[in-house]
Amino acid sequence: MSKFTLGKGNSGWWDGAIGYEVYIRSFADSNGDGIGDLLGLVSKLDYLAWLGVDLVWVSPFYPSPMADFGYDVSNYCDVDPIFGTLEDFDCLVAEVHRLGMRLLIDLVPNHTSSQHEWFVDSRSSIDSDKRGFYHWRDPSQNGGPPNNWVSHFGGSAWTFDELTEQYYLHLFLPEQPDLNWNNPNVVKEFDNILKFWLSRDVDGFRIDVAQGLVKNMLMADNPLRFPLHKDMSPREIFASYDHRYDLDQSGNIEIYQRWRKVADENDALLLGEVYLRDNDPNKVSRYVASKDSLHRAFYFAPMHVPWSPEPMWDTFRDALDAAPEDLSWALSSHDDPRAPTRFGGGKEGKQRALAYSVLLLFLPGLPFIYQGDELGLESILVKPEDQADPVALRNEDGSDGRDGARSPIPWHVGENFGFSTGKPWLPMGDRSEEETVDSQKFDEGSTLFKYKELFQLRAERLDPNSQLKWITSRDSSVIAFTRADIVCAINVGEQSEKLKLGKEMSDIKFSVGDAVVSDGILELGLASAAIIMSGV
């Protein structure tokens, strides 16, 4: 089925693969209700195969009240009717495999929906058999929350329940109570959940909030790193704390070591969303370094680094020193502004994002792009009355809202750009004909064709086991390295730069912006990148 083979340690069929994130609500709608669904995705799989995608990661499609659009799961072993049925899911798996790709599904083990039967039971009585599935605590001595922990989405991480007169913990919405992973019954339930989906031939799991499952049961206050002030956004408040007791606890590794045995028996990938606020690569690397825990861990610092040499050097050199092979890179995601927007917007932002992709795709590790990255899409502006993201709706300042990156994909010119025959659940923005898939698919100078060309070059010419050797230093505006007979170089400085390569390195296989090789000297213009090989 796949061109990749099973290896040892953290290696496997994913070595050399390119991943593609599908945010299911915004990809393709098959039934006209304005919400993307499984059969909509099935109808577009030929496009992903044409592009050169190897691994399709799908956001949650489980039954959910949609307080956080699927990341609040009320049943881990079924499909929400708005997305389809289990039979539709089986069809998706079969079609993905028929086209030679693999399927990764989103697992949400840190929290459930408050409407999950476990929590409904847990909330019913202090003596409930399921009470220990969640974190329940008495009020503090002053009658308030048990400690100072805060939610990612704003406010306290504790909600008081009138019926049983205790607080329950939620690091996200109150509708997303955190599971108690110190409870062996929770551990056993998730053993069964993994096996349920593996029996339906999924190829692995992207693990949501992988750093957050286990909590320190003493539940002491988290130390404050920076002073708080009233104008801070939820993200800024969360980042102001040292999350010493609620995140990145040692027990997380034990859970993944348990899951690893199940995954390896099924030739499946475990990819963790290890989102640590200080972006310390040494902390992230612990989740993969033992070779018996996660196979790959997302490292998110590259999604927040500015277009500047020094921070980019620090980001990539430090990450690859900590984990030379086992990280996963993402250009964009459904939780953050799109790459062209991050890098300044307009023509400049799009060129920078494409040049940056050259770097991410040729580094060791497992790269992912987010739906629409291949079209050069920017985040859209969403009016306050059209916002849907709970992060925006529950806070006075909606600037942290994620809707702008979640706008549906423009497939072709026409009603709702071909996404749906009904009103899309989010606005499409002011997309142009030039941004549609159909327009770019027949334009060999388009961003889409550049990504297809880049994917093909990587698949055909890059040995995933080749070692990286840096050929420029941290004081250079050009980030450049070799892997076997390939040179990858990107100029993130403020002027054109020259790089001596040697006369044998004369064949530019791929470039973004201005790139010329003459007499063994590579000249790169602003926001330019190139892949060079020997011309001999």
- The answer to whether the beta carbons of residues 248 and 241 sit under 8 Å apart is no
Active site residue 208: yes
Residue 279's CB is within 10 A of a number of other CB atoms, namely 18
Active site residue 438: no
What stretch of H or E contains 90? helix 86-98
Residue 207, phi then psi, degrees to nearest 5: -100, 115
| Surface-to-core class of residue 122, CB atoms within 10 Å of its CB (0-12 exposed, 13-18 middle, 19+ buried) | buried
Q: Which of 208, 273, 435, 497 is catalytic?
A: 208
Tokens of 345: 């917007």
Write the secondary structure of 158-185 as one string of H (helix), E (strand) and C (coil). EEEECCCCEEEECCCCCCCCEECCCCHH
Q: Which of 117, 191, 254, 265 is catalytic?
A: 265
Write the secondary structure of 40-65 as one string of H (helix), E (strand) and C (coil). HHHHCHHHHHHHCCCEEEECCCCCCC
- The answer to whether the beta carbons of residues 507 and 535 sit under 8 Å apart is yes
Q: For residue 453, give the amino acid letter.
A: E
CA pair distance 164, 375, nearest whole angstrom: 52
What is the widest separation between alpha-carbon atoms in the chain? 79
> How many whole angstroms from its chain centre is CA 18?
13
List the catalytic residues: 208, 265
